[in-house]
Structure 1
Amino acid sequence: MLGFRRLPALLLTVLALLFAGTACATRTPSPAPEAPVEDPAAAFPAQIALDGQEPITLPQQPKHIVSLSPTATESLYAIGAGDQVEAADRSSSFPADAPRTELNALSSDAAAVAGHDPDLVIAPDGAGKLVEGLRELEIPVLVTPAATSLDDAYAQIETLGQATGHSRQARDVTARMRADIAKIVADTPKAPEPLTYFHELSPDFYTATSRSFIGDVYGLFGLRNIADDAEGEYPQLAQERIVQADPDLIFLADSKCCGATADAVAARPGWNTLTAVRERRVVTLDEDVAGRWGPRVVDLVRAISDSVSRAQRP
Structure 2
Amino acid sequence: MKRALAIVAAAMLLAACADNTEEPAAPTTSAPAYPVTVGSLTLDKQPQKIVVLSPSATEMLFAIGAGAQVTAADDNSNYPAEAPKSDLSGFQPNAEAIAAKSPDLVVLSNDTNKVVDQLTALKIPVYQAPAATTLDDTYKQLTELGTLTGHPDEAADVVQRMKDDIAKLVRDVPQRSEKLSYYYELDPTFYSVTSKTFIGSLFSLAGLENIADGSDADGAKGGYPQLSAEVIIKADPDLVFLADSKCCQQSADTVKARTGWSGITAVKNSQVVALDDDVASRWGPRVVDLVRAIVDAVSKIPA
TM-score of the superposition, structure 1-length normalised? 0.83
Give 1:233's aligned residue.
Answer: 223
Matches within 5 A, 1:294-313: 294-312=284-302
The structural deviation recorded for 1:192 is 2.4
Mapped contact 2:54–2:108 kept (Cα < 8 A): yes
Matches within 5 A, 1:148-187: 148-187=133-172
For structure 1, list consecutive stretches of 5 or more residues without a partner in the other structure.
1-36, 50-54
Q: Secondary structure at the match of 1:168?
A: helix
Matches within 5 A, 1:116-265: 116-230=101-215, 231=218, 232-265=222-255
Give 1:100's aligned residue.
Answer: 85
Matches within 5 A, 1:26-45: 39-42=30-33, 44-45=34-35
Which structure has the higher relative contact order (CA within 8 Å, separation 6+)?
2
Give 2:58's aligned residue.
Answer: 73
Q: Which amino acid aligns with 1:277?
A: V
Q: 2: distance between equivalents of 1:126 and 1:198?
A: 32
Give 1:279's aligned residue.
Answer: 269
The structural deviation recorded for 1:284 is 0.2
Give 1:21's aligned residue.
Answer: none
Mapped contact 2:183–2:211 kept (Cα < 8 A): yes
CA gap of 1:214–1:40, structure 2 versus 1, over 3 A, is: farther
Matches within 5 A, 1:37-56: 39-42=30-33, 44-49=34-39, 55-56=40-41
Q: How many residues in Structure 1 have an aligned counterpart in Structure 2?
A: 271
Question: What percentage of aligned pairs have identical amino acids?
Answer: 53
The structural deviation recorded for 1:102 is 0.7
Q: 2: distance between equivalents of 1:41 and 1:124?
A: 25
Q: Secondary structure at the match of 2:159?
A: helix
Q: Secondary structure at the match of 2:246?
A: helix
For structure 2, list consecutive stretches of 5 or more residues without a partner in the other structure.
1-27
Deviation sequence 1:223-270 (CA, Å, 0-9, x none): 011111022221111221111111110000001111111111111111
Deviation sequence 1:82-112 (CA, Å, 0-9, x none): 1110100111111001100011022241111
Q: Secondary structure at the match of 1:250?
A: strand
Mapped contact 1:106–1:130 kept (Cα < 8 A): no
Mapped contact 1:191–1:312 kept (Cα < 8 A): no
The structural deviation recorded for 1:129 is 2.3
The structural deviation recorded for 1:128 is 4.4
The alignment's C-alpha RMSD in Å is: 1.4
Q: 1: distance between equivalents of 2:56 and 2:234?
A: 35
Mapped contact 2:184–2:241 kept (Cα < 8 A): yes
Q: Which amino acid aligns with 2:283?
A: W
Q: Secondary structure at the match of 1:118?
A: coil
Deviation sequence 1:112-148 (CA, Å, 0-9, x none): 1111110100011242422222112111111111111
Q: 1: distance between equivalents of 2:189 and 2:284?
A: 27
Q: Secondary structure at the match of 1:256?
A: coil
Q: Which amino acid aligns with 1:47?
A: T
Structure 1 segments of 4 or more deviating over 6 A?
A: none
